[in-house]
Amino acid sequence: MTSEVMTIFSKASGRAGHYRIPSIVKTKSGVLVACADERFYTCRDNPNRIDKVVRRSLDNGLTWEEQIVVVEEVGESMQDASAAIDPCMLYDENSNTVFMIYSHTPAGVGILKCKKGLGQDKEGNLYLYEGKRRYTLKDGKIYDMSGSVKEDYKIMPNGDVIFKGQPAGNYKLNSGKLKELKTSHLYITSSNDDGLTWSKPINITNQVKENYMSFIGAGPGVGITVKKGKYKGRLIFPLYYNVIEKFQILMLSACVMYSDDNGKTWHRGKSPNQTRKHGIFTVGHRFVLQGDMITETQLIECEGGRLKLFMRNHSSKKLIATAISDDGGETWQDYKHHPQLPHCICQCCVINGVEDGKEVTLFLNAADPKERRNGVIRLSYDYGDTFEYSKLIKQGEFVYSCMVWLGDGKVGVLYEENTQHEEINFITVTLDEIKSGEQFE
């Protein structure tokens, strides 16, 4: 590689022992913004205390500034802590804004234990529960179902509950006298100064989740701004969701959410599972068999504004699936498994770069059908229809990753070093390196 392996997130630079789920973008000022989950009590997913942290580089990845805490959750143990899990960032050059989405869950809740529902009203105000009694948190005040203000309650910005002047736990925790719905809530935050400071996160669950859904989360990695065609300027994030609450099983489908007003409002597109076929039958997304599940996705823009989705899936084929959209991600067609992209049911990443004035596509994942190992980067000249070159960049364990185009024929790679998840590393790879040497299948 053209650079030494550099550890970006670890206990040495942060506050916890485990870091997961890399996301990285580059702004037009040349600043790299790298994000990760900071996981406190274990490397596992939620239930766990999981914060969102960022580090920036002003010199294309040669050096990195101190860690910034973007989202801080609460809790003192794995089962009694809230989580902000799985970042996905999007840099919009038009507004010079870095957006980040993530899934928030209260204590004790993971993907298998999410209840169905939004946990919000139509205006986006949070519901809080005292047993079966429901209240609404609006403008810092608590309202009962009749619309009367409950003066006995005061809610602090971090979720602490004050009842009759006395501490009454935190609504995100098991200790709270009031509690939020035990489900996943989709949040968004943004930065207009290259990731240095971030806005207060906004709960947008009511905009993109349905009452029949339990879990909803980011695709993790990066989203895109459409640059060409009818939907030029549209912001797009990948999502996936679950439609079952009981029995601790999964029926997962992927989709995207999009905004045509610079991130003020968001809409969810249809899943490829609503259009793909098994013979004459549509797969569907309200009842999904194990082999039909599609989960973490990434996407690129192709010629003329067409979009291509690359999907982690649970098919026995153990190949990345793809689909295309000609309506800005609202619907998807041509679902198929890519014969050149083996995977072990793990996240992948894909971006576009530039070579000799023309777009090229780069794809990276753990390219093994059985284990999370062997990070292979591939190069395509036809937006991922075929991959002409491939190179092994990390032998042995390799898990989640994210790429960013650095310019001058270079791509930055942020990746999880191994399944202990104690650090996230960064390297730089050139297109010439990918095209040289032995190909990796």
Decide: pTM greater than 0.95. Answer: yes
Model confidence at 365, pLDDT cuts 50, 70, 90, reads very high
Q: Is the peptide bond before 238 cis (omega within 30 degrees of 0)?
A: no
Task: For residue 31, give every residue at least 6 positions away whose Cβ sits within 8 Å of its Cβ, in sequence order, or none.
Answer: 56, 57, 58, 194, 195
* pLDDT tens for each residue of 236-294: 999 999 999 988 899 999 999 999 999 999 999 999 999 998 888 889 999 999 999 99
| Category of 424 on φ-ψ map: left (φ > 0), alpha (ψ -120 to 50) or beta | beta
Q: Shortest CA distance to 313 belongs to which of 340, 334, 344?
A: 344
For residue 98, give Cα distances in angstroms to 19, 89, 95, 410: 21, 7, 9, 21
* pLDDT tens for each residue of 158-214: 999 999 999 999 999 998 999 999 999 999 999 999 999 999 999 999 999 999 999
pLDDT surpassing 70 at residue 1: no
Q: CA-to-CA distance for 146 and 183, rounded, in angstroms?
A: 25
Q: CA-to-CA distance for 3 and 60, rounded, in angstroms?
A: 11
Domains defined along the chain, listed by start = 6-114+189-435 (2.120.10.10), 120-180 (2.40.220.10)
What is the arithmetic mean of pLDDT over 80-88? 98
* pLDDT tens for each residue of 130-166: 999 999 999 999 999 999 999 999 999 999 999 999 9
Question: Which contiguous run of DSSP H or E holds residue 378?
Answer: strand 373-380
What is the arithmetic mean of pLDDT over 333-340? 98
pLDDT of residue 314: 97
Q: CA-to-CA distance for 351 and 384, rounded, in angstroms?
A: 10
- Terminal Cα-to-Cα distance of the chain (whole angstroms): 19
pLDDT of residue 321: 98
pLDDT of residue 281: 84
Please check whether residue 426 is in contact with residue 410, taking contact to mean a CB–CB distance below 8 angstroms: no
* pLDDT tens for each residue of 85-118: 999 999 999 999 999 999 999 999 999 999 999 9
